[in-house]
Amino acid sequence: MGIRKILTDKEPSLHKVCKEVTVFDKKLHKLLDDMADTLAEANGVGLAAPQVGILRRVVIVDVGDEILELVNPTLVETSGEQIGAEGCLSVPGRYGLVKRPNVAKVKAQDRYGEWFEAEGEELIARCFCHELDHLDGIVYTQVMERFLTEEELDQM
């Protein structure tokens, strides 16, 4: 296990589409473990593999009582709408106003290749959508309405 460097949105690889994971081995398990350590160190909610320089379809999300590992995730269902502040470990210190679904369901594989579905509301739904965007080379600054001011953040 270890802490990996989180790339900033200036890094060209963060804007590339990631490749599907086809091998579920110790190398993948180490990546997932390192990502969990990196997320904890950065005090974030979610992290995608391209943020640590790995162009594979791998995401982790802190859902409160566990770290949810999503390999080859796809968004299968969304409902509702929320507009709120969104930040990113790859865009440190900045927050934007972003519209996302209020509920999101994903289908993914676990670290062993077994398929499952997970559903989240509010922050978790936002996180699912945000992290899956990373896998397609999209950073939230590309889909936000605008950056939020410090005064607006203080009011939230």
Positions marked active-site: 131
3-state helix, strand, coil in the chain (%, to 5): 30, 35, 35
Instruction: Output the six-digit token pair for 69.
Output: 């590992």
- Quote the CA–CA distance of 32 and 153 in Å, as a whole number: 32
Q: Report the SS3 class of residue 93.
A: strand
Instruction: Please give the C-alpha separations between residue 81 and each of 50, 126, 136, in angstroms, as whole numbers.
Output: 27, 10, 22
Give dist(CA 4, CA 35) in Å, integer.
Answer: 7
Element spanning 33, H or E: helix 26-42
